[in-house]
Amino acid sequence: MLLASLNVSPLVWIKLLHTAVWFFFVMCILALPLAGFFRRFRIAATLAAVVLIECVLFALNHFHCPLTDLAARYTSDRSANFDIFLPLWLARHNASIFGTLYFAGALFTLCRYLSARRRREKVGAPHFFE
């Protein structure tokens, strides 16, 4: 197999996986207010739910990513970015930056949804998620 022949350490594979998972959730967080802006409320609800499930799993794991535990087996480094390919400053402030963006995006989308619902009620149209 090509991947096995690359002779890359397990830590690098874990960091690549962790970075890919992080990127997926960042894209969900950034897409949330865009879906709200374009009144794609089912998509917005799905994005919000996906991120919320990840947050619940994170909380159930004592606010610690399971991939961090896995990466820790392969290095003694414990800098904020030892387990992910992110700049140190971003790894340090990841939760506060993207938590704020998620909350703001969800609030924006909720306001757009309620506004669209009020408009639809005035004209008597159905208002379930468009």
Contact indicator for 50, 66 with CB cutoff of 8 Å: no
Residues 6+ apart with CB under 8 A from 105: 29, 30, 32, 33, 36
Does the pLDDT at position 1 exceed 60? no
Least confident of 6-10, 38-42, 76-80, 83-87: 6-10
Query: Residues of 12-47 as b/e, b for ≥16 C-beta within 10 angstroms?
Result: eebbeebbeebeebbebbebbbebbeeebbebbbeb
Q: Where does the pLDDT of residue 130 fall: very low under 50, low under 70, confident under 90, or very high at 90 and above?
A: low
Tokens found for residue 81: 């970015």
Comparison of pLDDT for 112 and 123, the residue scoring more: 112
Rounded Cα distance between 109 and 41, Å, is 8
pTM of this prediction? 0.87
Provide mean pLDDT across the span 8-19.
96
DSSP 77: -
Task: Name the amino acid, one letter, at 128.
Answer: F
Residue 7 has what pLDDT?
Answer: 81
